[in-house]
Structure 1
Amino acid sequence: MKRFRICFTALCFFLMYFVSFSQTRKQLERKRSNLKKEIKQVNSLLIETKKKKNNALDDLKDLTHKISIRERLIKTITLETTILSKEIQNNQKEIQKNNDELTKLKLDYQKMVVKTYKSKSLQSKTMFLLSSKNFYQAYKRVKYMQQYNDFRKKQGNDILLKTKIIEQLNDSLLNRKKAKDRLITEEKTQNKAVEKDKKNQEKLVSSIKKQERRYKSQLLKKQKEEKRIAARIDRLIRDAIAKANKAKGAKKSSKFTLNAAEKALKASFEQNKGNLPWPVPGIITRKYGVQPHPTFPGININSTGLHIAAKGNADAKSIFNGKVMSIQSHTDGKKSVYVRHGNYISVYNSLEKIYVKKGDPIKTGDKLGKIFTDKITGKTKLSFILYKNTTRLNPQEWIQ
């Protein structure tokens, strides 16, 4: 019984040990799967988008983004392969250990069988019992024979259990070796793809350097326009706060004066931080905040929100319950929708068609407008900004 418990405990330990390994590996598998999906999105939304005119600067940014994702994928595959190698090594050690234990169990069992055979040839069980001096001794001898038989049965069970463990270990080892081979093949494929992308990247960099002055001029002009739009948005929000507070008879403030319902909405919005839905499915092509330009040293990009590339004809959707605070039109023909959630405001820029009007109550996921698709580049991108009163927030910290 004791030996059986030891074998059973060993099996449980083995399973727990490899479960902990497999949990880490499953996390890496999920990450690998997500990165591969992200590469597909970059290809479909950015790289393979039909264009009437190429822009080397945009192409370089998209290709660099794709390379960075693929490099993260390669690192994930390498880490997953390393864990598999450790699992295989530990698996092999466990097989050797169990084989040694099985050999010893079989040897012990063999010795007992021989001993039983010899004892049977010397005297039968009946004679063994009849030769007892008294009833108590006969009882003890019966108990002894029962324990002896039980022990033999336990030895047989131990051998079966140990054999089962070895079979499971061998199956596990085979599966892990196959998985490792698949990962090695995938890593080679991804490395080749990165090499190809980097060659294209070098060509684009060379092309941009030849016309650096023109591209820098375009970039600075675009940044100036973005600053002007950002200033208009800030001013509109300040005016909206002042107007809302005045209507309630509140004092002048840079923050919304909230009633009970608005306070409840604010609290609910805050409770959902990190779990709010995306305003549109896609990939983030520009993050929030100040960041160095990937091509031109010394030039920084100040992003007021997130730039999300989406499929053509995609709609921007509200990230939470609220009310349409304002609709704004820009000189380039694009429009913006402002949705207020208590003292939070979500702004959906770069829309070409609006589905709502000022004052409309909004539910999470409601369609607000169709996102503008650039006729030259063929790309569809939403600029998404988030405010708390007049303070800009990083939207990436709030969405899922």
Structure 2
Amino acid sequence: MNALKSYRYLFFIALFLCSVSINSQSKKQQQLEAKRQELRKEISQLNTLLFKGKEEQKSVVTNVENLDYKVSVLKNLISITNQQANLLTREINDNQKQITNLRDKLKLLKEEYAAMIVKSYKSKSEQSKVMFLLSSANFQQAYKRLQYIKQYADYQKKQGEEIKLQTAKLQALNTDLLSQKKDKQKLIEENRQTKQELENELKQQEIIVASIKQDLSKYTSQIRTKQKEVDKIDKQIEKIIRDAIAKSNRKAGKSSNSKTFALTPEQKQLAASFTANKGKLPWPVKEGIVKVRYGTRPSPIDRTVKIKSNGVRIVTNKGETVRAVFEGEVLNVMTPKNGNKAIMIKHGNYITIYKNLSKIYVSKGDKVNTKQEIGEVITNKASGEAVLSFVIYKDSKTQNPAHWIYKL
């Protein structure tokens, strides 16, 4: 009887650990699959937004930048699918071990059950049913003995059936996992081939660049000039923010040298609400991909040249409308002579900036709501791309938009 209790205990422990392992791994698998689908969607979008118009004669700089970006996305996709395949392999191995353990336990339980039946039969052959009852202290004890044997046998039978059922479930799961692994391996191979194709195309671009190596300084100059234009607009934005901070402090009777906004109770509440939505803010456009991320990185044309981005640059559809990511007040509308239009919206002590616009739908001082359309992205005539530059400030310091915008 003690042996049966031990088997029962070990059975439920094994079943519990199996369930925990499968649930944990399945959750990880779901997370990887969600990430893989996001990357596949991003590749589909960049094919539409960056590579759709091959008839358009884009500059060498633009072509190399686009290919460099696409290759990086594909590498991420391949990495994710490799992780999925590896996880599936571990799941299959773990489940096979569980099946082996359950089979071993089933075998032991069957042997124990068979031994019990034999023992019961021998006991019955040695003495009659009447003698078995008379050996009891009383009738109630004899009845309990019979019931115990019956329940004991029923329990063994149910345990055996339950183990068979769980084994069948695990075998079915392994069949599914093997099928998934085959699908993932196929996907990995497809991605590897696509990556090779892109690398070949990138090499062709490198050949073109090498063939005009004597003019490489011209392209480097173009990159530097473009960065200077961006820096110039960024400095104008920083000045507008400094002036706005100083004005808020003067109005509140505080030092105008402060680097943070002096907020009214209403503005504090708005800022707190903006903070509470960190990571959940909507995209400033309905559809797009992040071509340039926050921070400083080397140019794919000339690695000695650094490209600085105070925010993110989102490639979107031509003529795409821009929307406010949160409620607030239009702090400023910029219309520089040698630059594209920009809108600055204040949310307490936070400011969101939308640059590279062709049309403006709001004016300085206007109150705006979340997802309200505020303008339209301009399409670059040289590259044929519509790129929105989106920036977030907290007081006088830039923030990484990827930390604030949902799945950016």
TM (norm. structure 1) is 0.91
RMSD: 2.4
**Partner Cα separation in structure 1 for residue 387 and residue 55 of structure 2:** 15
> Can you give the 5+ residue segments of structure 2 that lack an aligned partner in the other structure?
none
Q: SS at 1:257's partner residue? A: coil
Aligned to 2:143: 142
1:316 is aligned with what amino acid?
V
User: Of 71, 75, 96, which aligns to 2:75?
Assistant: 71
Aligned to 2:364: 358
Aligned to 2:305: 299
Aligned to 2:221: 217
**Partner Cα separation in structure 1 for residue 255 and residue 120 of structure 2:** 101
Aligned to 1:16: 20
- Per-residue CA deviation, residues 176-235 of structure 1 (Å, 9 max, x unaligned), is 111111111111110010001000011111212333233122212212222222222223
> Can you give the 5+ residue segments of structure 1 that lack an aligned partner in the other structure?
none
Q: Is the counterpart of residue 285 in structure 1 residue 309 in structure 2?
A: no
- Per-residue CA deviation, residues 258-295 of structure 1 (Å, 9 max, x unaligned), is 32222222232233333322222422111222222122
**Partner Cα separation in structure 2 for residue 123 and residue 346 of structure 1:** 93
Q: Is the counterpart of residue 167 in structure 1 residue 188 in structure 2?
A: no
Would you say how many aligned residue pairs link Structure 1 and Structure 2?
397
1:167 is aligned with what amino acid?
A
1:170 Cα shift? Answer: 0.8
User: Of 376, 382, 397, which aligns to 1:391?
Assistant: 397
* Contact preservation (8 Å) 1:51, 1:377: no
* Contact preservation (8 Å) 1:344, 1:386: yes
Aligned to 2:376: 370
**Partner Cα separation in structure 2 for residue 322 and residue 10 of structure 1:** 57
Aligned to 2:192: 191
Q: SS at 1:25's partner residue? A: helix
**Partner Cα separation in structure 2 for residue 153 and residue 252 of structure 1:** 86
**Partner Cα separation in structure 1 for residue 126 and residue 351 of structure 2:** 97
When residues 104 and 353 of structure 1 are mapped into structure 2, their CA distance, relative to the original with a 3 A threshold, is: same
* Contact preservation (8 Å) 2:59, 2:382: no
1:310 Cα shift? Answer: 1.3
**Partner Cα separation in structure 2 for residue 255 and residue 142 of structure 1:** 86
2:45 is aligned with what amino acid?
Q
**Partner Cα separation in structure 2 for residue 240 and residue 196 of structure 1:** 51
* Contact preservation (8 Å) 1:60, 1:201: yes
1:399 Cα shift? Answer: 2.2
Identical counterparts, % of pairs: 33
When residues 251 and 63 of structure 1 are mapped into structure 2, their CA distance, relative to the original with a 3 A threshold, is: same
Q: SS at 2:50's partner residue? A: helix
TM (norm. structure 2) is 0.89
1:122 Cα shift? Answer: 5.1
1:109 Cα shift? Answer: 2.6
Answer with 252-261 or 10-19: which moved more: 252-261
Q: Is the counterpart of residue 88 in structure 1 residue 89 in structure 2?
A: no
* Contact preservation (8 Å) 1:50, 1:377: no
When residues 242 and 51 of structure 1 are mapped into structure 2, their CA distance, relative to the original with a 3 A threshold, is: farther
User: Of 331, 334, 340, which aligns to 2:340?
Assistant: 334
